[in-house]
């Protein structure tokens, strides 16, 4: 009878471990899917930038410093895969884009250009989607962290090498204010 009770306890513990492990895997997959959405929106943003630079260049081609800064910031952001490092690069890109949009104040023809306005609108919509995707990804990471940092998940996650998920911004980075990027008309 003692062996049967011990066997039942071991089987029950094994069942709980399997259930917790599967739950952790599902949460890990959800995090990857959420980050894929962030990457999709970042790529959409990056795909808009060459058209935007070309449009601005047609009206303000001598503003080489600003145009080069946007191009370089885009290239830097595209080259980084780590979410935390990419956050810094994306902030630099947003700041460079902000300077690019400020140029429209000095060039009324640019500000009136239908293509420029359409790109501004599309970039603004992309920024909204990106903000949502980042928030969603951070929510998924927080849920995953909750599973990996509490019992019984902690007992399964650590031995199986499941890393603690990283949020797109650390606590200190969230505390600082993001660069102000003016995407709409400021008339």
* pLDDT the model gives residue 172: 42
- pLDDT for the residue numbered 168: 66
Domains annotated for the chain, with CATH where assigned, are: 2-175 (1.20.1440.20)
pLDDT at residue 176, as a whole number: 46
**pLDDT at residue number 169:** 60
| pTM summary value | 0.76
Mean pLDDT by 10 residues, the chain (187 residues): 88 94 96 93 94 89 88 93 82 91 87 90 93 93 94 91 73 44 45
Q: What is the pLDDT of residue 103?
A: 84
Three state DSSP letters for the chain: CHHHHHHHHHHHHHHHHHHHHHHHHHHHHHHHHHHHHHHHHHHHHHHHHHHHHHHHHHHHCCCHHHHHHHHHHHHHHHHCCCHHHHHHHHHHHHHHHHHHHHHHHHCHHHHHCHHHHHHHHHHHHHHHHHHHHHHHHHHHHHHHHHHHHCCCHHHHHCCCCCCCCCCCCCHHHHHCCCCCCCCCCCC
């Amino acid at each position: 009878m003692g062996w049967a009770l011990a066997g039942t306890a071991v089987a029950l513990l094994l069942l709980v471990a399997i259930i917790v492990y599967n739950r952790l895997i599902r949460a890990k997959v959800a995090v990857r899917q959420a980050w894929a959405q962030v990457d999709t929106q970042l790529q959409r943003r990056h795909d808009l930038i060459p058209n935007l630079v070309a449009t601005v260049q047609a009206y303000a081609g001598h503003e080489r410093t600003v145009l080069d800064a946007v191009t370089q910031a885009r290239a830097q952001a595209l080259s980084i895969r780590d979410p935390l490092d990419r956050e810094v690069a994306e902030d630099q890109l947003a700041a460079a884009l902000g300077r690019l949009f400020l140029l429209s104040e000095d060039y009324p023809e640019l500000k009136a250009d239908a293509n420029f306005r359409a790109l501004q609108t599309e970039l603004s919509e992309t920024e909204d989607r990106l903000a949502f995707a980042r928030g969603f990804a951070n929510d998924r990471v927080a849920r995953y962290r909750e599973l990996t940092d509490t019992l019984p998940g902690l007992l399964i996650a650590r031995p199986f090498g499941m890393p603690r998920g990283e949020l797109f911004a650390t606590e200190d980075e969230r505390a600082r204010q993001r660069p102000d990027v003016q995407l709409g008309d400021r008339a």
